[in-house]
Structure 1
Amino acid sequence: MSWSIISAADVAPQAWRNGGGRTRELLAWPHSNDWLLRISVADIETDGPFSKFEGVDRWFAVLDGAGVRLFGHELRAGEPLLQFDGAAAPECSLIDGVTRDFNLMHRRGKGRLRVQPAGTALAPVSARWVGLFTAAGGVLSHGGRAMPLAALSLAWCEAPSPQSCTFEGNGSAWWMSWHEDAE
């Protein structure tokens, strides 16, 4: 029931193959070369298509910057997550300069992922994996333990004890829980 915490500030950015940006991979779980969940923070520096990921569901949100145009919509910081099929590889254009973005990917049919805003407590769950991403930082509490989180941080726990989790902070933040059973 131990929590792991990583901040984007502690991860070296990796340049994209197409030169359009950089990614800081916070987690590829359970293994980096065979992941079920992949969570990252990216800096989009130029217009271009998203990478194609067949059989993957994606969630995306702008964290900083003027925003992007994706699927014909303008997305800006503070708006809800956008979920889409990773095989779509949509064209992305910057509204006005570089943006910093949250990316979450889940292999479809490999368990069940639930994603929800962290504005309310996460009720006790029987998940195999629970995580919280925060854009601006705050304090995560679980089972009487309070854990400070820096901006752009991910906290996660495998097989957490069935106690509620709370988060107090500002800015965008999301709970994620992964269950072995598919719906």
Structure 2
Amino acid sequence: MQSKDPSITRLTPADHRRVPWKNGGGVTTELAVEPAADGRFVWRVSIADVVEPGPFSAFPGYDRLIAVVEGDGMRLSVDGAPPVERRRLDPAFAFAGEAPVWCEPTAGPIRDVNLMLDRASATGTLTLLAGQAGHRVAGDVLLVHALAGTLTVMPDGGEALPVPAGHSLLLRGMAALVEAPDGAEGVCAEVQRR
């Protein structure tokens, strides 16, 4: 369990970790993760490249939120339900980590952002921001990642902090306002412990 004392940590591309998919079908870039004592994790935010149709890895006991951040879009078939189509910067799509999922890019390779949450210990949301958008974030843990341009994060009672493309800001125990100026894009992952 992490400390509940308020803190802000800057994460650069050098802090990211490339991790093979559990099913061997690709590689994901882990932006941030909170390990649990049992070898699992409480939450993880990552960005994955999907270059061809294929299955997702199974993550039993986790809730997943996913959104397309580069490329045209993807079709997801989850647990035998009719396919759901998600386009670039559409709102995040939620599904159970243990559900069988087939993913098919709609027009060439895509990149997606994922928030995974251990269902027993955390809930959360994943919000995308694009050009002249603002979003108030609050939670036990917040990860703000800039996809393009420079985001501005204003923690309550603190100074404005710039977050350039490819970088992240990890905030614990505090709320903030995140702004994406014209031409900027970003993602906000909010985690609340159960």
Determine if the TM-score, normalized by the shorter chain, exceeds 0.5: yes
Distance 1:25 1:148 in 2: 21
Alignment partner of 1:103 is 2:114? yes
Alignment partner of 1:168 is 2:174? no
Partner SS, residue 93 of structure 1? strand
Alignment partner of 1:140 is 2:146? no
1:25 alignment partner in structure 2: 30
State whether residues 39 and 103 of structure 1, in contact with CA within 8 Å, keep that contact through their aligned partners in structure 2: yes
Alignment partner of 1:128 is 2:140? yes
Q: Residue 156 and residue 77 in structure 1: after superposition, are their counterparts in 2 closer, same or farther (change >3 A)?
A: same
Unaligned runs of 5+ in 2: 1-5, 78-82
Partner SS, residue 122 of structure 1? strand
Residue 10 of structure 1: how far off its partner (Å): 5.2
Distance 1:57 1:79 in 2: 19
2:43 alignment partner in structure 1: 37
Alignment partner of 1:77 is 2:88? yes
What TM-score comes out, normalization by structure 2 length? 0.77
2:70 alignment partner in structure 1: 64
Q: Deviations over 1:56-92 (max 9, x none)?
A: 1000000001111113122111100001111113100
Of Structure 1 and Structure 2, the greater strand share is in 2
Q: Residue 45 and residue 8 in structure 1: after superposition, are their counterparts in 2 closer, same or farther (change >3 A)?
A: farther
Unaligned runs of 5+ in 1: none
State whether residues 7 and 150 of structure 1, in contact with CA within 8 Å, keep that contact through their aligned partners in structure 2: no
Q: Residue 21 and residue 73 in structure 1: after superposition, are their counterparts in 2 closer, same or farther (change >3 A)?
A: same
Distance 2:153 2:160 in 1: 6
Higher alpha-carbon deviation: 164-173 or 9-18: 9-18
Which contiguous aligned blocks of 4+ residues in structure 1 show a shift greater than 6 angstroms? none
State whether residues 26 and 40 of structure 1, in contact with CA within 8 Å, keep that contact through their aligned partners in structure 2: yes
CA RMSD of aligned residues (A): 2.5
Fraction of identical pairs, as percent: 29
Partner SS, residue 109 of structure 1? coil
Residue in structure 2 matching 1:51, options 57, 71, 78: 57
